[in-house]
């Protein structure tokens, strides 16, 4: 597949380098995600793998959703039971195998807001099973760091309700309800849709269409693997 080059780099890399984002930067990134998910949900597609690693920044500083390996077409009113997603972002209904729908993306928006504003996800442990147990204890059991604003705390709690139907953005207006929350007060949604926000908080320096300097660099493998000479496939 040939896709456009998002030369601003990975959102995860920017977050790692800065430590955490202020409300303005987090709000902009999450707003881009909400618009992307609004489109997917309108087409009956549940995304299921929201996280900073799957968000790329364009040369003009806008955030794009990538990696649709877990995305699935799911007609309205239907559920799916596949256990998938990144452990820290998995919703309770997936862990409990109750069947899930696009409400898992709403849960993930809340987790994303927490990670962007603190630098770490709210539910994390060295072992995935421990992470799942912490998730099932719920967002109300969390001690929010002081760096998270009151409005950010409130929207996270509204998005990460254990009962999917109680999550902000699950009702008849869909994700539009999220955009009206106090955390987004004063945000230029029209400017975002028209890509008219000239100086975005995620603007990166891009010299030209071949400039990959905003991506991490890795050395190539120099060790050649040994030849396979066991003839294990002789009987096939």
Give the chain's end-to-end CA distance (angstroms, integer). 33
Q: Is 231 a catalytic residue?
A: no
Residue with tokens 């998910």: 37
Residue of 17, 22, 23, 49 marked active site: 49
Question: Facing residues of 56 across strands?
Answer: 10, 64
Q: Helices (DSSP H) in 160-206: which residue ranges?
A: 176-179, 189-193
Q: Collapsing DSSP states into helix, strand and coil, what is residue 65? A: strand
Token digits for 224?
Answer: 């050649």
Token digits for 186?
Answer: 């004063």
Strands 9-10 and 63-65: unpaired
149 contacts 23 by C-beta, under 8 angstroms: yes
Catalytic residues: 49
């Amino acid at each position: 597949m040939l896709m456009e080059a998002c030369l601003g780099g990975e959102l995860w890399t920017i977050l790692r380098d800065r430590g955490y984002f202020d409300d303005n930067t987090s709000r902009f990134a999450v707003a881009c995600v909400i618009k992307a998910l609004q489109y997917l949900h309108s087409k009956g597609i549940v995304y299921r793998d929201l996280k900073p690693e799957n968000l790329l920044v364009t040369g003009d500083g806008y955030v794009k959703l990538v990696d649709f390996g877990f995305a699935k077409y799911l007609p309205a009113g239907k559920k799916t039971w596949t256990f998938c997603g990144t452990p820290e972002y998995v919703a309770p209904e997936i862990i409990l195998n109750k069947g899930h729908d696009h409400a898992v993306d709403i849960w993930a928006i809340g987790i994303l807001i927490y990670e962007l504003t603190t630098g770490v996800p709210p539910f994390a442990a060295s072992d995935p099973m421990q992470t799942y147990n912490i998730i099932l204890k719920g967002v109300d059991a969390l001690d929010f760091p002081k760096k998270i604003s009151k409005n950010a705390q409130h929207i996270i709690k509204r998005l990460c309700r254990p009962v999917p139907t109680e999550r902000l953005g699950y009702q008849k207006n869909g994700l539009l309800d999220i955009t009206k929350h106090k955390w987004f007060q004063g945000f230029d949604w029209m400017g975002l849709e028209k890509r008219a926000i000239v100086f975005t908080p995620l603007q990166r320096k891009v010299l030209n269409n071949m400039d990959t300097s905003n991506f991490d660099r890795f050395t190539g493998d120099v060790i050649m693997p040994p030849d396979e000479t066991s003839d294990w496939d002789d009987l096939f």
